């Protein structure tokens, strides 16, 4: 197998593109793909301030790294969920990347702020761990953007994440989400900052290859709570289809985007109010987060630790 660009030995075949590439050409292919997504869908304006949600996994760390390589000044945001054997290790990887690209990262410690880790909180508010985690992450990320003056929240969702979520929404006709799954979400409730996903068209396999070939140190384990999640089943099924007909996942998402853009969505203009507990913009009297936490007697303050890159090097 030869590289389609330089004819040297290829390290990865890309059947969806009918191509194979060597390490160097693959790295520039993928970075270029991210840049094309950003420009093609106009995700970033020149005066935007970007905050990347990093988990310590391959996607978000690679994204943070790529954005800075492409010349965007993007800072990081990490939520320490207090998961034993997982959170400390992933934070370490995040700090390592912060040192590598010399960008600061804000850290939110759930246990310090709320007195409990994610497992205890989810039990208390009677939700699955993944659903509680999603709700908390959305709130904290938005708060970090507001408090620290960023207007764009960047997440590392890749092609496989988006395709499997979309498939799930179709299977159960979750109408409220179905038409919202774009590359960019603007100022809806729960997405108060603009939220963008520049890895939307890059597959899981491509991201893993990119991270390894670029020497990015990331946490390989999936979150221990994601075991058995339906999204993993959907990914498996989509990969079987992809195997038979390469390029299907890309078609699925690109077609969806084209289709939804044609739909004239009625914008429900609701009057914005502010949560009377935390001051956060919301449609009701209290924001979703405060309402749930108050109902179940969980309280705490929201604050962020700022990790200045280089601390590891200096200590
Ligand atoms: Zn090559
Ligand atoms: Zn609130």
Task: Indicate the range of 75-84, 194-203, 280-289 predicted with least confidence.
Answer: 280-289
Instruction: Indicate which ligand has the atom closest to the C-alpha of 277.
Output: 2
How remote is the CA of residue 77 from the centroid of ligand 2, in Å? 20
3-class secondary structure, 273: strand
What mean pLDDT, rounded, does the chain reach? 89
pTM for the predicted model, two decimal places: 0.90
Instruction: Indicate which ligand has the atom closest to the C-alpha of 22.
Output: 1
For residue 230 the two structure tokens come to 């339906």
Position 193 pLDDT exceeds 80: no
Position 312 pLDDT exceeds 70: no
3-class secondary structure, 238: helix
- pLDDT per position as a tens digit, 215-247: 999 998 877 777 767 888 999 999 999 999 999
How remote is the CA of residue 29 from the centroid of ligand 2, in Å? 43
Q: Which residues surround ligand 1, an ion (CB under 5 A)?
A: 3, 5-6, 22, 25
Instruction: Indicate which ligand has the atom closest to the C-alpha of 6.
Output: 1
193/189 Cα distance (integer angstroms): 10
Q: Pick the closest to residue 40 from 247, 207, 250, 184 (CA basis).
A: 184
Instruction: Indicate which ligand has the atom closest to the C-alpha of 9.
Output: 1
Please compute the mean of the pLDDT values over residues 124-151 and round it to a whole number.
90
- pLDDT per position as a tens digit, 150-184: 999 999 999 999 999 999 989 998 877 776 666 66
Instruction: Indicate which ligand has the atom closest to the C-alpha of 276.
Output: 2
Instruction: Indicate which ligand has the atom closest to the C-alpha of 146.
Output: 2
How remote is the CA of residue 306 from the centroid of ligand 1, in Å? 40
Q: Pick the closest to residue 11 from 32, 31, 27 (CA basis).
A: 27
The winner for highest mean pLDDT among 101-115, 166-180, 185-199, 264-278 is 101-115
Contacts of 311 (CB under 8 A, 6+ apart): 95, 99
Q: Pick the closest to residue 3 from 28, 23, 20, 18 (CA basis).
A: 20
How remote is the CA of residue 214 from the centroid of ligand 1, in Å? 15
Position 309 pLDDT exceeds 50: yes
Contacts of 43 (CB under 8 A, 6+ apart): 37, 183, 184, 196, 198
Instruction: Give the per-residue pLDDT at 209.
Output: 98
How remote is the CA of residue 94 from the centroid of ligand 2, in Å? 28
Round the CA-based radius of gyration of the chain to a whole number and report it.
20
How remote is the CA of residue 283 from the centroid of ligand 2, in Å? 11
97 half-sphere exposure, CB direction, 13 A CA radius: 37
197/37 Cα distance (integer angstroms): 9
Instruction: Give the per-residue pLDDT at 264.
Output: 56
- pLDDT per position as a tens digit, 63-107: 999 999 999 999 999 999 998 889 999 999 999 999 999 999 999
- Domains, the chain, in order of start with CATH, read 29-314 (3.40.50.620)
């Amino acid at each position: 197998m030869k590289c389609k660009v330089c004819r040297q030995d290829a390290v990865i075949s890309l059947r969806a593109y009918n191509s194979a590439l060597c390490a160097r050409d693959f790295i520039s292919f993928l970075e270029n793909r991210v840049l094309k997504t950003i420009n093609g869908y106009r995700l970033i304006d020149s005066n935007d301030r970007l905050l990347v949600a990093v988990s310590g996994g391959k996607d978000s760390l690679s994204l943070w790294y790529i954005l800075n390589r492409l010349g965007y000044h993007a800072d990081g945001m990490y939520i320490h969920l207090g998961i034993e054997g997982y959170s400390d290790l992933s934070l370490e990887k995040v700090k390592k990347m912060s040192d590598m690209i010399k960008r600061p990262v804000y850290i939110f410690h759930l246990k310090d702020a709320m007195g409990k880790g994610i497992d205890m909180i989810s039990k208390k508010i009677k939700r699955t761990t993944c659903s509680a985690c999603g709700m908390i992450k959305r709130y904290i990320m938005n708060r970090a953007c507001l408090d620290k003056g960023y207007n764009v929240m960047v997440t590392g969702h890749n092609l496989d994440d988006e395709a499997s979520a979309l498939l799930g929404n179709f299977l159960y006709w979750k109408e409220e989400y179905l038409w919202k799954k774009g590359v960019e979400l603007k100022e809806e409730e729960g997405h108060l900052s603009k939220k963008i996903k520049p890895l939307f068209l890059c597959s899981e396999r491509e991201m893993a290859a990119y991270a390894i070939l670029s020497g990015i140190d990331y946490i390989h384990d999936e979150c221990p709570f994601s075991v058995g999640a339906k999204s993993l089943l959907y990914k498996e099924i989509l990969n079987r289809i992809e195997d038979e007909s390469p390029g299907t996942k890309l078609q699925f998402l690109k077609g969806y985007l084209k289709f939804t853009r044609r739909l004239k969505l009625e914008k429900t203009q609701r009057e914005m109010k502010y949560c009377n507990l935390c001051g956060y913009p919301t449609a009701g009297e209290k924001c979703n987060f405060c309402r749930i936490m108050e109902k179940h007697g969980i309280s705490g303050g929201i604050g962020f630790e700022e990790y200045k890159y280089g601390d590891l090097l200096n200590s």
